[in-house]
């Protein structure tokens, strides 16, 4: 099918006529995008105020090929970022990191950095709610794991322990977050179960 802009649709439906093929794998969005959509829903519904933290960037070189358009040619990260999202829910500060893995059996700790762990510890020490949202993309499962549970494995790896968090541990210590239409990653229900 050609659309009015003259471009061909990239959507192809190989299902036989009369039968709809339902495929929920990856749902065409990344975890971060799903959380952004969820946060927008929470904001509009008056549930919580949570935003993605911008990564501080130092712009070094900008070209102006046209008067109305600027193109950044060179930029650097000013500092290491902490976690991905922060905000307020039920009068409590919340702060979390979102990670996806293609691994089916564990979450590799190489996906997390020391400065992020240090930040999570600080948030916990000051009474904030801090956690990770981990998506196992091959299993199409998403979990909220309290940062304290992740930090146990993080610290143990330096004493000869595992370099990953086993999937069964995440299932046991975390809360599975089912997919919803409006709040795609409805982590607020998991926060309610764990903290309230």
Assess contact for 41 and 183: CB atoms under 8 A.
yes
Tell me the torsion sign for CA atoms 162, 168, 173, 177. Answer: positive
- In order of start, what are the domains of the chain with their CATH numbers? 31-195 (3.40.1350.10)
Helix, strand or coil for residue 75?
strand
For residues 126-147, give the mean pLDDT: 97
Mean pLDDT on 99-128: 97
User: Regarding beta strands 92-101 and 49-52, do their DSSP bridges make them parallel or antiparallel, or are they unpaired?
Assistant: unpaired
Output phi, psi for 41, to 5 deg: -60, -45
Q: Locate all alpha helices (DSSP H) within the chain, ordered by sequence.
A: 31-45, 114-125, 147-157, 167-173, 187-195
Q: For residue 63, what are its two tokens?
A: 């070209």
Binding-site residues from annotation: 82, 84, 97, 116
The pLDDT score that the predictor gives to residue 77 is 64
Are the CB atoms for 174 and 149 separated by under 8 Å? yes
Percentage of the residues of the chain whose pLDDT score is greater than 70: 82
| pLDDT value, residue 2 | 43
Half-sphere exposure of 83 (CA within 13 A, CB side): 23
Is the entire prediction scored with pTM above 0.95? no
Q: Which residues are annotated as a binding site for Mg(2+)?
A: 82, 84, 97, 116
The tens digit of pLDDT for each residue in 150-196 reads: 999 999 999 999 999 999 999 999 999 989 888 999 999 999 999 99
Assess whether pLDDT exceeds 50 at residue 25. Answer: no
Structural tokens at position 191: 């926060």
Cβ atoms of 72 and 106 within 8 Å: the answer is no
pLDDT attached to residue 10 = 43
Helix (H) or strand (E) holding 176: strand 175-176
- Return the DSSP state at 78: S
């Amino acid at each position: 099918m050609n659309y009015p802009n003259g471009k061909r649709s990239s959507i192809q439906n190989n299902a036989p006529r009369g039968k709809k093929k339902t495929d929920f794998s990856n749902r065409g969005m990344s975890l971060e995008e799903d959380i952004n959509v969820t946060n927008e829903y929470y904001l509009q519904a008056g549930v919580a105020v949570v935003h993605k933290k911008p990564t501080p960037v130092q712009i070094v070189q900008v070209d102006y090929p046209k008067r109305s358009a600027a193109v950044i040619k060179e930029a650097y990260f000013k500092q290491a970022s902490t976690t991905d999202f922060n905000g307020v829910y039920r009068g409590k500060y919340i702060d979390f990191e979102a990670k996806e893995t293609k691994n089916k059996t564990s979450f590799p700790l190489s996906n997390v950095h020391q400065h992020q762990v240090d930040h999570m510890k600080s948030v916990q020490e000051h009474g904030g709610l801090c956690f990770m949202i981990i998506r196992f993309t091959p299993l199409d499962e998403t979990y909220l794991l309290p940062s304290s549970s992740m930090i146990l494995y993080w610290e143990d790896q330096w004493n000869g322990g595992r370099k990953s968090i086993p999937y069964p541990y995440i299932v046991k210590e975390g809360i599975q977050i089912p997919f919803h239409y409006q709040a795609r990653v409805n982590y607020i229900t998991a926060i309610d179960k764990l903290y309230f």
